[in-house]
Structure 1
Amino acid sequence: MVDFKDAAFGAGHDHIFLGVGHEKNERKTWAVIALCSAMMLVEIVGGSMFGSLALVADGLHMSTHAGAMLIAALAYSYARKHATDSRFVFGTGKLGDLAGFTSAIVLAMIALLIGYEAASRFLSPVPIHFGEAIPIAAVGLFVNLASVWLLNGGDHDHGHDDHAHEEEVQKIFALADRGGYLESKEDIPQPHAFKAIVRMPDGEFGVEFEEHEHHDDADEAATRDHNIGAAYIHVMADAAVSVLAIIGLVLARAFGWLWMDALAGIIGALVIANWSYGLMRDTGAILLDMNCDRRMAENVRHAIEDLGDKVVDLHVWRVGPGHMSAVVSVATDETQRDSRFYHAVLGRFMGLSHVTVEVQPLQTAA
């Protein structure tokens, strides 16, 4: 007999797989849009009033910057508003990755345009109005640095709760016999590390749990919010271009090296193209359901096979920032082990938010 059972640890059956800082990142993105839009209006209106074509051009460039931020903001809003929409089979957690992939394409196009313009300047140098160009580049750098500060927010939230650093707390949990395993009758909190004493009829048994630091690439890939990351790359790319532009303009003005402005443009285009490629690679892998956390898959396999059972089939993929899903087919000769047993085994894995288990007799699988 084959037994199917589905559960979503930490998220429930509503399939809400949004990142921990979803709403906070959404507010940050809208704040950057407001800043860029205000700067865009000031530059376009001021340039029109004072006859500065360079100021108008930078204002139009700022509008593309605000447009890129708008992609991220709308993705956050749509994902939040439709998080419980049953049409999205695995929720809207991957919408941010789709927005990040779109932003990567926009960045690639910007890199091509900058590179083309820079190459044209090499072949046909044009006069540069240093008195206007340098201050505008400086103002652009200031706006980009302000945007970086808004997106970063001055905090580094890794998704850990403050209660992990509180004083030691002791609590008694009643356990129920589920026929082959014991299950707590109430939810057990998941701090970074804790010690448990299990009282059994034949004595007391101590069990120690410790959560290790999450600094490897697999953890980052599983929890990274590519939507806010794409917005961050946009402002960082603009800031880098502004710095290179200021350096190129200052050197061109001081030594008459007009080619320095074009060289700065080419370097900036290469930097943006590199960031675009990395973002496209990471988000594309998630959109294609590539396993971005191989350690999680191995942990799931070992947790089951260490019990003497066999994992016949296993698929692990990301459904949102910090949320992994798994489909597991298990073969066992233990008749008392049903899907509930394996859900209890896998329920201890942080970040494994949705699990589907199929249980079949070992001889059938063989």
Structure 2
Amino acid sequence: MSVVDISAHTHEHNFLGHDHRRNERRVWLVIALTASMMAIEITAGTVYGSMALVADGWHMSTHAGAMLITALTYLYARRHTGDRSFTFGTGKLGDLGGFASAIVLALIALLIGWESLLRLANPVEISFGQAIAVAVVGLAVNLVCAWLLRDDHSHHHGHGQHHAHDHARDNNLRAAYLHVLADALTSILAIVALLAGRSYGWLWADPAMGVVGAVVIARWSWGLIRESGAVLLDRTPADEDLPGEIRAAIETDTDRIADLHVWQVGPGHHAAIISLVSSAPKEPSEYKMRLTPIHELSHITVEVERANAVS
């Protein structure tokens, strides 16, 4: 009895993003910066009796906590990338982390909006100079964090992969970036409102800007929920035409696709199950070779059936 060697046909299911480790390190660094700024503001606010400092410190803590979801997701996905119990690897854990972070971002938007509406109904006295200083420092920290979390994935692709950047979007990193961006937006709006309040006595400007910020943050959150949720439900995004590319590469007069499933298994990685009907069937490896130019396809399963003769 002969022994079949399958080693040449086996492969790992490592579908993590191209910059997974780099992104993980950057998120931990941003958490450290945010947590340090949070501790300084809460401590200084308590010592000097500044509620503006204390409030901003606790506000930053919510974003640090949300970004912790991102960091732990990166860590878990990396440590379990070789775990065969995850049928298609751990690449989609980033989308799960992004979805969870988007929910937190939506809750933050609701809290900011609610507090702003309460302030509109019951204006309070504001220490403008102190509040502006806090907002400027917070904005500076957030701009540094936003620079660290920028997605420059497209710089790593060579010629022939012109559309890979859109397919390789890391929703986990995007979630952390949106949290930082939301904090920066609130700081910018606060600075504008506080300057107007100090110059013209408009106490309503600060809570009004809070409402505007809440609406914008809620919109960002909904976009992330929709996009990461679509990946979790194995939906092919509308801006991707992988099914069309697959059909164009495989179908001929004798080979037709009867059933096709395409879904994302990680940033920049897609899987496909292709059921073919052919009047002149070839080996599955032949059809896989036709798909080689489609760089986003990382896992392909092909089944071939002979077409029934038509009289």
> How many Å separate the matches in 2 of 1:115 and 1:212?
42
Partner Cα distance (1:212, 1:15) in 2: 22
Q: Quick check: 1:241 aligned with 2:186?
A: yes
CA distance in 1, matches of 2:153, 2:258: 38
Tell me if structure 2 keeps the 8 A contact 1:28–1:151: yes
Correspondent of 1:157 among 153, 159, 167: 153
TM-score, normalised with respect to structure 1: 0.79
Secondary structure of the structure 2 residue equivalent to 1:14: coil
1:69 to 62, 67, 70: 67
Inter-CA distance 7–136: structure 2 relative to 1 (3 Å threshold): farther
CA positional deviation for 1:127: 1.1
Give 1:61 shift: 1.3
Within 5 A, what are the aligned runs for 1:175-194? 192=159
Question: Residue 271 of structure 1 corresponds to which residue in structure 2?
Answer: 216
Q: Which residue of 2 aligns with 1:330?
A: 276
After TM superposition, the score normalised by the length of structure 2 is: 0.92
Which one-letter code corresponds to 1:300 in the other structure? I
What is the aligned partner in structure 2 of residue 83 from structure 1?
81
Q: Per-residue CA shift, 1:81-116, capped at 9, x if unaligned?
A: 001111111111011111111111111111111111
Deviation, 1:57, is 1.7
Match status 1:300 vs 2:300:
no
Q: Residue in 1 aligned with 2:33?
A: 35
1:52 deviates by 1.8
AA partner of residue 58 (structure 1): D
**For the structure 1 residues 314 and 21, does the alpha-carbon distance in structure 2 shift closer, same or farther, using more than 3 Å as the test?**
same
Question: Secondary structure, in 3 states, of the residue corresponding to 1:85?
Answer: coil
Aligned residue for 1:213?
162
**SS of corresponding position for 1:64:** helix
Match of 1:348 in 2: 293
- Assess, with a 3 A threshold, how the Cα gap between structure 1 residues 364 and 256 changes in structure 2: closer, same or farther: farther
Q: Deviations over 1:29-78 (max 9, x none)?
A: 00101101111111112122222222122111111121111111111111
1 or 2 for the larger relative contact order (CA 8 Å, sep ≥6)? Answer: 1
Q: CA separation in 2, counterparts of 1:257 and 1:247?
A: 11
* Matching of residue 314 in structure 1 with residue 260 in structure 2: yes
- The one-letter amino acid paired with 1:158 is S
Give the aligned partner of residue 280 of structure 1: 225
Say whether the 8 Å CA contact 1:7–1:354 is kept in structure 2. no
For structure 1, list consecutive stretches of 5 or more residues without a partner in the other structure: 1-5, 165-191, 193-210
Residue 3 of structure 2 is matched in structure 1 by none
Give the RMSD, CA atoms, in angstroms. Answer: 2.3
Measure the CA separation in 1 of the matches of 2:82 and 2:67.
25
Aligned to 2:11, the other structure's residue is in SS state helix
Alpha carbons 2:182, 2:217 under 8 Å: kept: yes
Q: Do 2:13 and 2:89's aligned partners in 1 also have CA atoms closer than 8 Å?
A: yes
> Is 1:25 matched up with 2:23?
yes
Alignment match, 1:131: 129
Give the match for residue 171 of structure 2: 226
For 1:46, give the aligned amino acid: A
Q: Offset of 1:364 from its aligned partner?
A: 8.2
Tell me how far 1:338 sits from its aligned partner. 1.6
CA deviation map 1:98-151 (0-9, x unaligned): 111111111111111111111111111111121321111111111111111221
Q: Percent identity?
A: 52
Q: CA deviation at 1:220?
A: 4.7
Q: CA, structure 1 residues 8+150, in 2 after alignment: closer, same or farther (shift >3 Å)?
A: farther
For residues 71 and 289 of structure 1, the distance between their equivalents in structure 2, rounded to whole angstroms, comes to 22
Q: Is the 8 A contact 2:52 2:130 kept in 1?
A: yes
Partner of 1:253: 198
Distance 1:329 1:25 in 2: 37
Report the alpha carbon displacement of residue 14 of structure 1 after superposing the two structures with TM: 1.6
CA distance in structure 2 between the aligned counterparts of 1:295 and 1:365, rounded to whole angstroms: 32
Q: How many residues align?
A: 305
For 1:220-245, what per-residue CA distance to the aligned partner results, in whole angstroms no more than 9, with x for missing partners? 54210011111111111110110000
Q: Is the 8 Å Cα contact of residues 154 and 165 (structure 2) preserved in structure 1?
A: no
Larger Rg: 1
Higher mean C-alpha displacement, 286-295 vs 350-359 = 286-295
- Residues in 1 aligned to 2:222 and 2:124: alpha-carbon distance in whole angstroms: 31
The answer for unaligned runs of 5 or more in structure 2 is 1-5
- Secondary structure of the corresponding residue to residue 241 of structure 2: helix
